[in-house]
Structure 1
Amino acid sequence: MSAPFDLDVWVKEARREPFKFTLAGNIFTMPAAGELDKSILNAVNVDNPSARDIEALLRSGLGDQWTLFDEIPVPLAALGELFRQWQKHEGAPVGESGASSGS
């Protein structure tokens, strides 16, 4: 009989470096995208995120930093790029979205 798969050990070993970025002289830190809690799946379409889904994911990732981030004017194209860079940091594929560039 084999031992059960220990998901707690897997989570600890799979932890990645936080994603950091600067905006308006502030340094923001988010967990790697794959470390967000599974409860976010009820609020967003991760396969094909809309602009609102991207906002919800960023809000979740920024946590208590969201208020400061939200006060800073940011073009929509920049939000799309921030989302792509966050996923690139994770190594996750980027879904097509309204905030994605048309290149």
Structure 2
Amino acid sequence: MSTTAFDLDVWVKESRQEPFKFTVAGRLFEMPAAGELDKSVLTSVNIDAPSARDIETLLRAGLGDAWPEFDAIPIPLAALGELFRQWQRHEGVPLGESRASADS
């Protein structure tokens, strides 16, 4: 049995992924990989089956200080859903993938 403690800080640093980048209305936005959001977001969203409000909460958390600028841009709801799916795909293991995807 090992006496060495698992160092979660090291794991977090080593597992960091490239930020997710996207453009809309000629502006470049950047978010961390979805799985890198702080655990505090779990208290306000349903990760297994995110609602439209949950998706907005997650995007707001991901965009951080850039949220007001992003929020001011008119974007169709269908486009927000696709943005959320692409953000999940960026990480490789989508949040809330309990239903079969259209690509399967």
TM-score where L is the length of structure 1: 0.90
**Equivalent position of 1:56 in the other structure:** 57
Note if 1:9 corresponds to 2:22.
no
What is the CA-CA distance between 1:36 and the residue it aligns to?
A: 0.2
Q: Give the match's secondary structure for 2:6.
A: coil
Q: Give the match's secondary structure for 2:70.
A: helix
**Equivalent position of 1:18 in the other structure:** 19
**Equivalent position of 2:79 in the other structure:** 78
* Inter-partner Cα distance in structure 2 for 1:70 and 1:25: 14
Note the residue ranges of structure 2 that are not aligned, 5 or more in a row.
none
* Inter-partner Cα distance in structure 2 for 1:13 and 1:93: 20
* Inter-partner Cα distance in structure 1 for 2:43 and 2:32: 19
What is the CA-CA distance between 1:31 and the residue it aligns to?
A: 0.3
Q: Give the match's secondary structure for 2:21.
A: strand
TM-score where L is the length of structure 2: 0.89
Residue type of the alignment partner of 2:66: Q
* Inter-partner Cα distance in structure 2 for 1:37 and 1:93: 16
* Inter-partner Cα distance in structure 1 for 2:95 and 2:7: 29
Q: How many residues align?
A: 98
Runs of 4+ aligned structure 1 residues displaced above 3 Å come to none
* Inter-partner Cα distance in structure 2 for 1:62 and 1:21: 11
Residue type of the alignment partner of 2:11: W
Note the residue ranges of structure 1 that are not aligned, 5 or more in a row.
none
* Inter-partner Cα distance in structure 2 for 1:94 and 1:10: 20
RMSD: 1.6
**Equivalent position of 1:37 in the other structure:** 38
What is the CA-CA distance between 1:92 and the residue it aligns to?
A: 1.7
What is the CA-CA distance between 1:73 and the residue it aligns to?
A: 0.3
Aligned-pair identity in percent equals 73
